[in-house]
Chain A
């Protein structure tokens, strides 16, 4: 669980940003950019789309910042906005594309081209497995695995009961395990 990093200056930044200070808001963006863009990327599966969606999320955050309670967790609030923004983008996008966002897994340049190709295929396979999860379960899984939120925080961010968080996470992991079974066996055989 992420704790309030430099809580005192952050509170001051939030209050200044609420009063319209753009530099203070820039400071907050600097602090949370990598967390937010990473979660959005895992939801979208496309780096360019993730950057655009993250920008959209921070714009929404700026507009709605006066209604934010400084005592709450800004990170969780930003995650909520970012997840909603990502889902809006994905919904719009799914109308254009038949399905399956593309994954841009970069092969490790240090290994040989064949290994790099295999590695890239594995990454794409895994990312597509994540993207094929039901939306509600995917959100929970990503906030847990990449957002590193606690169950309680996920429940707050997504506005769902704690029991639902657990059941969705359980379902998502089971689905992934089923999908990745062959991949898994392959991995184990490689190591044997």
Chain B
């Protein structure tokens, strides 16, 4: 018998030998009597195994009836409905849109404020500012200083516009921070739930 052929004989017997290996073995079997005998013994073994009698098991209907009585409730393992997954992914999508919206609005607002302050576009954008924009400290200073404030209106107005621009910048940073925080919170919740799902799946895999 050819020792190196024995594993191939098993694979051949099971119909799992293909291509060049199959051709090679079949050619070999034609010339090698001991391998043919070996293959015959393997076939006989397989026939012997298949010839083993099978006992009479309980009928399938009775088995199913018994099984149905013992099936546990499965509410905790129920799949979440499909729409829940959509809602879940709506959160980050919504946050990205909100971020774009806030960015656009604040950039436009800042640009217009700057244009008004420097009078770059003349009166073209004055109607957008909704009248004169002043900060609280400008109003307070105006009331305290009264006519004195009007003595240097240009410098005072410039400082006021600069302050409006700074307030816009702060607002921009604030809203971006809020959106980033919300996104991180969502990411943390997603990671925790995903981790628990993996742990559950692993546990059920081990149980099965």
* Interface residue ranges, A against B (CB under 8 Å): 18-20, 22, 25-26, 29-30, 33-34, 37-38, 41-42, 47, 50-51, 54-55, 58-67, 80-81, 84, 104-106, 108, 123, 126-127, 130, 144-146, 150-151, 166-167, 169-170, 173, 176-177, 180, 184, 187
Instruction: Mark interface residues in B13-56 (1 if CB within 8 Å of A CB, else 0).
Output: 01010000000000000000000000001101110111011111
Given A18-B79, A145-B46: A81 and B208 within 8 A (CB)?
Answer: yes
* B208-A105 in contact (CB<8A): no
Identify A30's interface contact among B45, B49, B64, CB under 8 A.
Answer: B64
Say yes or no for B131: interface residue by CB 8 A criterion.
no
Given A55-B66, A144-B14: A127 and B52 within 8 A (CB)?
Answer: yes
* A51-B57 in contact (CB<8A): yes
Given A55-B70, A63-B72, A81-B208: A166 and B63 within 8 A (CB)?
Answer: no
Q: Measured between alpha carbons, how far is A62 from B67 in the docked complex, in Å?
A: 10
Contacts of B57-107 to chain A: CB distance below 8 A: 57-58, 60-61, 63-64, 66-68, 70-72, 74, 77-79
* B44-A184 in contact (CB<8A): yes
Given A67-B201, A81-B208, A144-B14: A20 and B63 within 8 A (CB)?
Answer: no
Say yes or no for B122: interface residue by CB 8 A criterion.
no
> Chain B's nearest CB lies how many Å from the CB of A131?
12
Say yes or no for B188: interface residue by CB 8 A criterion.
no
Q: Measured between alpha carbons, how far is A84 from B205 in the docked complex, in Å?
A: 11
> Chain A's nearest CB lies how many Å from the CB of B202?
10
* A145-B50 in contact (CB<8A): yes
Name A23's closest neighbour in chain B (CB-CB): B68
Residues of chain B contacted by A55 (CB below 8 angstroms): 63, 66-67, 70
Q: Measured between alpha carbons, how far is A30 from B42 in the docked complex, in Å?
A: 34
Q: Measured between alpha carbons, how far is A166 from B9 in the docked complex, in Å?
A: 11
* A47-B57 in contact (CB<8A): yes
| Residue among A30, A33, A60 with the highest chain B CB neighbour number at 10 A | A33
B interface, size bucket: 35 or more
* Interface residue ranges, B against A (CB under 8 Å): 6-7, 10-11, 14, 16, 41-42, 44-46, 48-50, 52-58, 60-61, 63-64, 66-68, 70-72, 74, 77-79, 201, 204-205, 207-208
Residues of chain A contacted by B45 (CB below 8 angstroms): 173, 176-177, 180
| Residue among A22, A63, A106, A123 with the highest chain B CB neighbour number at 10 A | A63
| Residue among B42, B53, B79 with the highest chain A CB neighbour number at 10 A | B53
Q: Measured between alpha carbons, how far is A164 from B201 in the docked complex, in Å?
A: 26
Residues of chain B contacted by A81 (CB below 8 angstroms): 208
* A169-B201 in contact (CB<8A): no
Q: Measured between alpha carbons, how far is A121 from B48 in the docked complex, in Å?
A: 14
Name B42's closest neighbour in chain A (CB-CB): A173
* A41-B66 in contact (CB<8A): no
* A60-B207 in contact (CB<8A): yes
* B71-A59 in contact (CB<8A): yes
* B7-A67 in contact (CB<8A): no
Q: Measured between alpha carbons, how far is A144 from B205 in the docked complex, in Å?
A: 23
* B63-A62 in contact (CB<8A): no
Residues of chain A contacted by B60 (CB below 8 angstroms): 29-30, 33-34
* A166-B10 in contact (CB<8A): yes
* B207-A64 in contact (CB<8A): yes
Residues of chain B contacted by A19 (CB below 8 angstroms): 78-79
